[in-house]
Structure 1
């Protein structure tokens, strides 16, 4: 058995644990809630408000770079990598020898990388580095947030754990890219500020 087949078997085994053996009726509602975009709107508003209160100069660049992060990770995962890698979602492979406890609709045909994982890990990466650099705060909670959303994706039957890992890697890369954009943006703002002060 080659390495890829071994990894595939491990991935499906872990999926079975999360999606079947570790499911509970009292937990289903929470997992469905975690993966809904509307659930996190108050969080997004709260983060932006916090940034604005701490550093008004950072607020607009932070908001726009967060949007750019989401755009990069979402387009790359959904429109480029999923069709290229063409890995079927668990629900597309369900049959007599492979069962899926699907709590939501199947969605698209392909699942790698997970767009939920790439988007949330992208934002988590960007937010964590930005808060560390400009607010001198360590937002460790962003990683728990991203992991919780991603775990819910496997729990409800939308993705294999491997899809999540691939999405997380993409998100971390995307978040680092937009952090560089924020860095140069803030440098430019400071230069303009200094020019006006001494001009």
Structure 2
């Protein structure tokens, strides 16, 4: 366990302090903000409702349930584990390049950003892949960029992202699988 935490700290110091450049210093703090990613999700909600009618409405309900499960589960782990964020840890914080506007008071493990984005990403992948094909893989790329940004700006360790991602992938696959078995997005038949 100690070697895993040592690896985690070393990776954090590399991502946050060594593997840096001016473009990422500008881009990654912005990417993790809701005003950037919320329009994507809003577009998906409108797109699905417009194209799939009442099934689209149920898709939105499951999308929101997935998000809520991921967010609440991550909050539980943060409280239970009690790991300090790198930007709050008195031993680490002098070495942290904090690029986020603020450092949250909540715990570090698991990352709610990672859990939420990987959760809804997996839900979208499972439910939309039959309609959008290989483009569905972009949901995971999007979630990974946001997770990486959380480490880059100094508010999470890499293992926080991995834990959040696993939590989100599990929740998204369960909710997406249930949705696909019971409801499934199908085009409305017009007569």
After TM superposition, the structure 1 stretch with the greater mean CA deviation from structure 2, 100-109 or 148-157, is 100-109
SS in 1 for 2:143: helix
Moved over 4 A (4+): none
Where does residue 46 of structure 1 map in the other structure? Answer: 43
Is the alpha carbon distance of 1:175 and 1:97 closer, same or farther for their aligned partners in structure 2, counting shifts above 3 Å? closer
Residue correspondence of structure 1 range 142-181 to structure 2 within 5 A? 142-181=139-178
Q: Is the 8 A contact 1:77 1:167 kept in 2?
A: yes
In the alignment, what sits opposite 2:60? 63
Q: Which residue of 2 aligns with 1:115?
A: 112
In 2: Cα distance, 1:167 partner to 1:24 partner: 26
Whose Rg is larger? 1
Counterparts of residues 11-30 of structure 1 (less than 5 Å): 11-30=8-27
* In structure 2, distance between residues paired with 1:136 and 1:32: 29
- The alignment's C-alpha RMSD in Å is 2.3
What are the superposed Cα offsets for residues 19-45 of structure 1, whole Å, 9 maximum, x if unpaired? 001122332221111110121122112
Q: Which residue does 2:98 correspond to in 1?
A: 102
Aligned counterpart, 1:82: 78
Name which of structure 1's ranges 92-101 and 168-177 shifts more when overlaid on structure 2: 92-101
Alpha-carbon separation, structure 1, partners of 2:92 and 2:32:
28
After the TM superposition, which of the residue ranges 101-110 and 178-187 deviates more from structure 2?
178-187
1:7 and 2:4 equivalent?
yes
Q: Contact conserved, 2:126 with 2:177, CA < 8 A, in 1? A: no
Whole-angstrom distance in 1 between the partners of 2:26 and 2:168: 26
Matched positions, count: 185
Q: Distance in 2 between matches of 1:112 and 1:23?
A: 23
Distance 1:45 1:97 in 2: 36
CA contact (8 A) 1:123 1:171 kept: yes
Q: What's the TM-score, normalizing by structure 2?
A: 0.88
Contact 2:115 2:168 in 1 (8 A): yes
- Cα offset for 1:98? 6.1
Output the CA distance in 1 between the equivalents of 2:2 and 2:106: 21
Query: What 5-or-longer segments of structure 1 have no aligned partner?
Result: 191-199
Looking at structure 2, the residues matched to 41 and 167 of structure 1 have their Cα atoms a distance apart, in angstroms, of 19
Partners of 2:118 and 2:51 in 1: CA distance: 24
Matches within 5 A, 1:115-134: 115-133=112-130
Q: Do the aligned partners of 1:91 and 1:102 also contact (CA within 8 Å) in 2?
A: yes
